Amino acid sequence: MSMTSILPLSTADSAASSSTAKFDAESSELAEAVAALKVGRATPPPKRPLIDAIKVGNNGQVDSGYASHSGSKTSTPGDSTFVDGGVVVVKAPRWSIAGRKKTKLLHFEKDIPRLTQNRFEDLRELHADNLIKLTRGLSRCRGILMSLKVLGENESTAAPWVFIQCDKAIAGKVRRFFKQPFVESDFKPAHPNAHTPNFEVYVYEMPPLALGSNSQCPPIARPDPYDTRETPELYFKEKIPGSLCGSKIIVSSSGQRRSATIGGLVSIQWKSGDCQLLGLTACHFLAQEQHLEDLEEEEHTDDDPDEGPFEDGQEFELDLGSLKYGAPALPAENAAQHEMSENLGAVFGHIFKTSLDSLQDGPNLDWALFTVENKSLLAPNFVGQEITRVAHPDQNETQQAVLLSTATSGLVLGTLSSSWSYLMLAPGKSLVRTNALKIRDHPALMSGDSGAWVVDYLTGELYGHLIASDVFGVAYVIPINDIFQDIQLRLSLEGVKLPASHQSLAGKAEDVIKVPDVGLQGIIMDTPPLASPSLAGRFTV
């Protein structure tokens, strides 16, 4: 007989209650787990995300700098942030070049070693043609300057840089030109030395300023309606009594009045042996189109907006605030208005020949020859003293103290460098060599000073004539020997020279006109006093 255990009723109820409680607890835990799973489920990512997610840890490490902005108070426009399962996804901003901090470059007046200058001239000869090709077909290209400047963040880091000044329209092309490996390897050799130094390149987006003046004015009525010559009529204002040197020469056409400075008189000799006296000045002021446009005007540029910064991720900009004098400026408004209202009187002369005639693809040495109708104005060339000799290149081995007489700035003292800089003025198609001229204790030269002759302060020898200026206020002078050779070639002449004055009547007291004191005596030690020109002295050619 089997024995069956019979529990008391109270004990059975207690076991059932315990079993039920255990089931309820397990059910509750399961429900909580399911709820937790529902809350923690992440939104599925898109099938083709536009960008990759970037995890940002909190381990104290520095992140890439593109996703984490926890330390920034503000975010940049264009940033896009959202949270996906604990992953911070950020649209990394595309920083424009303009938004990056640029390194300031200062300009220092330091001598450049001769070997460094020689290497620069070699590189210019090697790459100049390809550089100038970048300007072909660009009607708004007004010029290119290529020179050596001592630049740096401070004086201890300053070094010679290749400085390019050109129109904004071609600045991007110029930068890309110097980035080409075969070009960059020449300017930045792997193992630089004294003969092949390292050159950084800086491109400044403003063309060199041609120093001709331009103002709006009513056209001048032709005094002789029967004069059918098509060459522009010239007018002048005398600057130095008894000499044309430094006088203002003016041309009026198409509602514009343009002016420059008369350098002086030259004698040309034809193959027949005949000689002729003509005036000499710069020619860019004669161009019909206005070269002195507002340089702040927005121009079309070929720059690629995605183009990276120029120097290996670092950009530079010139700090021009430290310059004593800035770039040349246009004449004051009241001076321009006075010039417009001037009664210019009789016609002074006509254009005879310019460097722009039949230029084609040749160099533009920026000269203009003109006739002088009034023969009584054929007085000696005179700037400080009579000018009868030309300075040859071998005589210009060091910096020279020079004097120039300009129509706008007057008598100016400066220092002419023996080193070459290279300049192209439209419509020229090649770089021509120039000497840099630094003005002493004087504001920058002004528009209207182009064409002024630059002469040796001590000897009176002629070096060349003024044509343009850069952003630092440094002017550029084309050597007179180069100009004379170009004139001789283009006109098929026997020769070009400075005329010699006739001495038979010179020295009479009534013929001598005293030059006003310009305060130049004593600036240079052992400097002879300024002489005075003679009205009676007339040229023999």
* Inter-axis angle of helices 168-179 and 114-132, nearest 10: 110
What's the average model confidence in pLDDT over 355-359?
A: 85
Q: Which residues make beta-bridge pairs with 310?
A: none
**Cβ atoms 367, 466 nearer than 8 A:** no
Number of domains in the chain: 2
Q: How confident is the model at residue 51 (pLDDT cuts 50, 70, 90)?
A: very low
Q: How crowded is residue 509: how many other Cβ atoms within 10 Å of its Cβ?
A: 5
- The answer to whether residue 254 sits within a structural domain is yes
Closest residue by Cα to residue 369 from 483, 258, 476: 483
pLDDT given for residue 490 in this prediction? 93
What's the average model confidence in pLDDT over 238-257?
A: 78
385 or 535: which leads in pLDDT = 385
Which CATH number covers residue 341? 2.40.10.10
Pairing relation of β-strands 103-108 and 316-318? parallel
**What CA–CA distance (Å, rounded) separates 147 from 126?**
15
List phi, psi (to 5°) of 380. -60, 150
Shared domain for 351 and 318, answered yes or no, is no
What's the average model confidence in pLDDT over 165-175?
A: 89
138 or 493: which leads in pLDDT = 493
Range of the domain at 132: 100-207+300-322
Shared domain for 307 and 370, answered yes or no, is no
Shared domain for 238 and 184, answered yes or no, is no
Shared domain for 140 and 281, answered yes or no, is no
What's the average model confidence in pLDDT over 298-316?
A: 48
Percent of the chain with pLDDT over 90: 37
Q: How confident is the model at residue 69 (pLDDT cuts 50, 70, 90)?
A: very low
Shared domain for 189 and 241, answered yes or no, is no
Helix (H, G, I), strand (E, B) or coil at 390: strand
pLDDT given for residue 363 in this prediction? 87
Separation in Å, CA 129 to CA 132, 274, 425? 5, 39, 15
Q: Which residues make beta-bridge pairs with 89?
A: 82
Vertex 324: Cα angle to 460 and 403 (nearest 5)? 5
**Cβ atoms 444, 489 nearer than 8 A:** no
Vertex 479: Cα angle to 131 and 539 (nearest 5)? 150
User: Which secondary structure element, helix H or strand E, spans residue 404, and what is its range?
Assistant: strand 400-406
- The answer to whether residue 63 sits within a structural domain is no
The number of angstroms, rounded, from the C-alpha of 158 to the middle of its chain's C-alpha atoms is 20
What's the average model confidence in pLDDT over 333-353?
A: 62
Q: Render pLDDT for 405-442 as a digit per residue (tens, 0 to 9).
A: 999 888 999 999 988 999 998 888 889 999 999 988 66
Asked if pLDDT for residue 131 goes beyond 60, the answer is yes
Q: Is 284 exposed, middle or buried (0-12, 13-18, 19+ CB in 10 A)?
A: buried
Q: Which residues make beta-bridge pairs with 437?
A: 416, 475
What is the chain's mean pLDDT, rounded? 71
Q: Render pLDDT for 455-479 as a digit per residue (tens, 0 to 9).
A: 999 999 999 999 999 999 999 999 9
- The answer to whether residue 477 sits within a structural domain is yes
- The answer to whether residue 10 sits within a structural domain is no
Q: Render pLDDT for 195-231 as a digit per residue (tens, 0 to 9).
A: 999 999 999 999 888 887 665 444 444 444 444 444 5
Shared domain for 218 and 166, answered yes or no, is no
What's the average model confidence in pLDDT over 328-344?
A: 47
pLDDT given for residue 322 in this prediction? 62
349 or 493: which leads in pLDDT = 493
Shared domain for 216 and 201, answered yes or no, is no
Shared domain for 270 and 184, answered yes or no, is no
Shared domain for 284 and 163, answered yes or no, is no
- The answer to whether residue 105 sits within a structural domain is yes
Asked if pLDDT for residue 66 goes beyond 70, the answer is no
pLDDT given for residue 442 in this prediction? 62
Shared domain for 236 and 316, answered yes or no, is no
Residue 431: partners with Cβ closer than 8 Å, 6 or more residues away: 124, 128, 131, 132, 144, 146, 363, 422, 423, 424
Shared domain for 348 and 481, answered yes or no, is yes
Shared domain for 196 and 230, answered yes or no, is no
Residue 348: partners with Cβ closer than 8 Å, 6 or more residues away: 233, 234, 235, 236, 249, 372, 373, 374, 377
pTM of the full structure? 0.70
- The answer to whether residue 113 sits within a structural domain is yes
**What CA–CA distance (Å, rounded) separates 467 from 282?**
7
- The answer to whether residue 491 sits within a structural domain is yes
Show the tokens assigned to 244. 């044309």
Lowest average pLDDT, out of 21-25, 349-353, 446-450, 492-496, goes to 21-25
- The answer to whether residue 373 sits within a structural domain is yes
**What CA–CA distance (Å, rounded) separates 70 from 87?**
14
The alpha carbon dihedral of 406, 252, 539, 517 has a sign of negative
